């Protein structure tokens, strides 16, 4: 067993001074913020505060921390993980934003009652502009469940990323998937009209 993992499990107090010193050294953040995240998952006393202190101190620290949330997600840890993701979505950093894109692979594990309010915030955050791949795969799937909500997120994102031709094809696929789902039940729909107007604007 790794000695740090052993101490996290059996004597976290002995590591606190070490982690406090690591906070002052950004070159140590990538790995050590992960140890603190594991300690926070175990609810070790003081671990969460140290974890946030380290992630707040450097881009590499918060990027590494957000990356780990994808690996360790479970409903039992939801409150901690959502707290981390909400805290750092407000940084305008490309590498960090790319980690948020990867996490779209994991959202099927979240219950709808917590997922939609969280995504309302994420789609209104600075990091969303760096999500250019997995986000669209997620939206295509989610449009079958809730096409109106999907279009709401997409239309809001488009307004901030106007003329982003790199993702035009992906945006179009989501729009058409959601539009077809809506048309199964409704012929006249304001959200649908807005979506089609958006397509007309960019074609």
For the segment 144-192, what is each residue's pLDDT rounded down to a tens digit? 888 888 888 887 775 555 545 456 667 677 776 766 666 665 555 566 5
Q: Tally Cβ neighbours within 10 Å of residue 143.
A: 25
Closest by Cα among 129, 154, 132 to 143:
154
Contacts of 151 (CB under 8 A, 6+ apart): 143, 175, 178, 191, 192, 194, 195
Q: Is 77 exposed, middle or buried (0-12, 13-18, 19+ CB in 10 A)?
A: middle
pTM over 0.75: yes
| CA–CA distance, 48 with 137 (Å, rounded to integer) | 32
């Amino acid at each position: 067993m790794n000695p740090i993992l052993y101490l996290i499990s059996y004597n976290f107090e002995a590591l606190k001074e070490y982690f406090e010193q690591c906070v002052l050294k950004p070159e140590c953040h990538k790995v050590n913020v992960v140890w603190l995240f594991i300690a926070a998952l175990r609810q070790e006393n003081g671990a969460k505060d140290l974890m946030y202190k380290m992630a707040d101190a450097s881009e590499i620290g918060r990027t590494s921390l957000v990356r780990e949330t994808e690996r360790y997600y479970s409903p039992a840890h939801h409150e901690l993980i959502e707290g981390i993701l909400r805290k750092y979505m407000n940084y305008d950093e490309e590498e960090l934003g790319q980690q948020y894109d990867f996490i779209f692979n994991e959202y099927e594990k979240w219950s709808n009652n917590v997922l939609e309010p969280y995504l309302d915030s994420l789609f209104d955050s600075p990091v969303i502009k760096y999500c250019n791949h997995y986000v669209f795969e997620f939206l295509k799937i989610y449009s079958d469940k809730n096409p109106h909500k999907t279009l709401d997120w997409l239309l809001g994102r488009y307004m901030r990323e106007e003329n982003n031709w790199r993702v035009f094809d992906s945006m179009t696929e989501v729009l058409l998937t959601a539009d077809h789902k809506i048309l199964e039940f409704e012929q006249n729909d304001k959200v649908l009209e807005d979506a089609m107007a958006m397509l007309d604007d960019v074609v």
